[in-house]
Chains A and B, each alone.
Chain A
Amino acid sequence: MTPMLATVVPARLVHLSPIDIAIVVFYFALVLSIGWYLRGRAKTGEDFFMAGREMTAWVAGLSFLSANLGALELMGWAGSAYQYGILATHWYWIGAIPAMLFLALVMMPFYYISKTHSVPGYLKLRFGEPSRALSAVSFAFMTVLMSGVNMFAMAKVMQIVLGWDINFSIWVSSLTVAIYVTLGGLRSAIFNEVLQFFLIWAGALLIPILGLYEAGGWTNLKVLIAQRASEQYVHLWSGLGSFTTNPMGIHWTGIVFGLGAIISMGYWTTDFLVVQRILAAKDIRSAEMAPIIGAGFKMMVPFIVILPGLLGLAVLPEKLVPESVAAVTGGHSYNDVLPLMLARYCGPGLLGLGVTALIAGFMSGMAGNVSAFTTVWTYDIYRPFINSKGSDHHYVNMGRWTTIIGVLISVGTAYLVMQFASIMDYVQALFSFFIAPLFGTVVLGMLWKRATGPGGFWGLLCGTLSSISMWTWVKLDPSALRYVALSSNAKGLAQDMYQALWSFVVCVTVTVVVSLATKPIADSQLTGLVYGLTEIPAVGDVPLYQKPLFWAAVVVVVFFILNIIFW
């Protein structure tokens, strides 16, 4: 879900004053203190891997959102807004809100009632060991590699923005994450993610406020953008009737069915990195409210990500260029727009807070990857396949060691990417192979009781292989994009949308066909796992304003209003 970031252009964008450095140092001291404080509350498996399942809806919801709100996400999408205009907002609205609400109201009850530790754990309960093994191994492998890729990208950003040495950035940040996650487990990761959420808003909110002041308000901003780029840069939907009438080269069917119905559903409902935060909720109402709270704030994120990109388009004196051009000319690329806007408005102190927000975003993203990897490795790979007779204490120790090893593998991946930059593209593509088919498998498992173990396994495998095949086909023959994305005018992002859509269709088709050809699972074995055979517990006798359904309806109304306003 994150656009690629700079890999070259070593030119420092900002200079930190002593007070800025004091703010950065204070952040590191605080996160280590939180980890140290929580070390005594991570003694059992439930504590270390599931944060004791005692998080409130607000803590779980903000953590759920923060796990996705990394620094690369912020800078990458601000750059995309500069490049493609307000269309980038689709990844925050239709590309997130319906999926978050679907998770809250439809899927979360099954995750929560089954008391699973992970998404692969649910697949074990629903489809059996082969499906769990396939998803656990692929998730663990990809998560730790993604963590390394993000680590390298962030170190590169720190070099470009602050002039910091890459080795310094990699080792200081990874050791800090290793210490606080090893000490406090998932609880420590969640606490720091909530802290990061506040730091990001405190550090980034000034940019749109001052930017709109400088531009003369939203109406004047639209005029400036129309003069410097195109009127289509400020419309969400009106240019999506054709591949050629919008800056992104995408059709509305790709956005609605590829992004909204498949990719975002896959990411927000089955990527264990984010789902793990909700599984730590203290009760079913909190587990349902958490994604809804996350959705409410997710709708506001474009204000601190997309708007700065649009403002950059209107007020920055220089024209930003693609990475490849910037690497040759030494100019600034699209992805530099957020740091450039930060440097434009933020003096001593504020600059330190903005930089801290970026560092916090990176570190909490890495902690999220590492804590999810640790849980999946320990519960879904080590315990079932290597040592099933260990004590709870043994598995907690395994979790602590896995945290350290996971960080070291990430560091190794970061150095590998430093040597072979093209690996970055492959790793990001690999991660996307599993998301859409996994959603097909999980959602059929929850909603269709006739789905069988072999059906789930072969559907997941064939869906994943179809995704890999399409990607390889386009890689070998770029003209094949016209078949995958249904148009010769389609661009790169359109490929992701349609590739996800087709792999989902393959997964569902194979699952249905194989399931119908194999012996059904007895209803008694599906209780608590499938819709129709599971009694969903009520959220309790609470007033209307505390009911998840009420707040989901509020979010839906605001979602439609926003899309109409920026149509």
Chain B
Amino acid sequence: MVSIWFFIGISLAVNGALILAAGIYQLIDPPVNPGIVLFQLHANVWWGAALLVFGLIYCFKFAPKRQS
């Protein structure tokens, strides 16, 4: 059976990739009015990257082939 941790890895990796992509887009083309506080910290870049890395580690460690 596929491990629950593999599903969690997929979730974190996909969400991380989407958030990172949105962050990089805003880094390249900053909005005139970001509408949030602390925009200059670009939280979506580093938080998205962290989720992506964490998710990929889980996907790799708990991949169905490795588990079997």
Contacts and interface: CB of A to CB of B under 8 A. Distances in A.
Given A19-B22, A210-B41, A353-B19, A347 B36 contact: yes
Contacts of B47: 206, 350
Given A19-B18, A202-B51, A210-B38, A349 B44 contact: yes
Contact of B22 (A37, A59, A202, A348): A348
B18 to A, nearest CB: 6
A195 interface: yes
Interface of A, helix, strand, loop or mixed by DSSP? helix
A200 to B, nearest CB: 12
Contact of B4 (A22, A194, A210, A349): A194
Nearest to A52: B1
Contacts of B36: 343-347
A206 B39 CA distance: 13
B4 A202 contact: no
A198 B43 contact: no
Interface string B18-36: 1111110010000000111
Sorting the interface of chain A by its residue count into under 10, 10 to 19, 20 to 34 or 35 or more gives 20 to 34
B46 to A, nearest CB: 10
Contacts of B37: 210, 214, 344-345
Contacts of A349: 18-23, 44, 48
Interface of A: 17, 19, 22-23, 26-27, 30, 34, 37, 41, 59, 191, 194-195, 198-199, 202, 206, 210, 213-214, 343-350, 352-353, 356
A23 B18 contact: yes
A206 B43 CA distance: 8
Interface in B10-68: 10-12, 14-15, 18-23, 26, 34-39, 41, 43-44, 47-48, 51
Contacts of B2: 37
Interface of B: 1-2, 4, 7-8, 10-12, 14-15, 18-23, 26, 34-39, 41, 43-44, 47-48, 51
A313 to B, nearest CB: 16
8 closest A-B pairs by CB: A349-B19, A349-B22, A348-B22, A19-B22, A191-B4, A349-B44, A350-B44, A347-B36
A30 B38 CA distance: 32
Given A23-B15, A23-B18, A213 B38 contact: yes
A151 B8 CA distance: 25
Nearest to B50: A202
Contacts, number: 87
A300 to B, nearest CB: 17
A214 B43 CA distance: 13
Contact of B44 (A198, A343, A348): A348
Contact of A30 (B1, B7, B39, B51): B7
A118 to B, nearest CB: 23
B43 A195 contact: no
Nearest to B10: A30
Contacts of A210: 37-38, 41, 43
B39 A19 contact: no
A344 B11 CA distance: 24
A225 B8 CA distance: 37
Contacts of B15: 23, 26, 199, 202, 353, 356
Contacts of A41: 1
B43 A59 contact: no
Contacts of B12: 198, 202
A210 B38 CA distance: 8
Nearest to A348: B22
Nearest to B31: A347
B44 A347 contact: yes
Contacts of B11: 26-27, 30, 195, 198-199
A567 B63 CA distance: 46
Contacts of A346: 36, 43-44
B8 to A, nearest CB: 5
Contact of B38 (A19, A22, A26, A214): A214
Contact of A34 (B7, B23, B48, B51): B7
B7 A195 contact: yes
B36 to A, nearest CB: 5
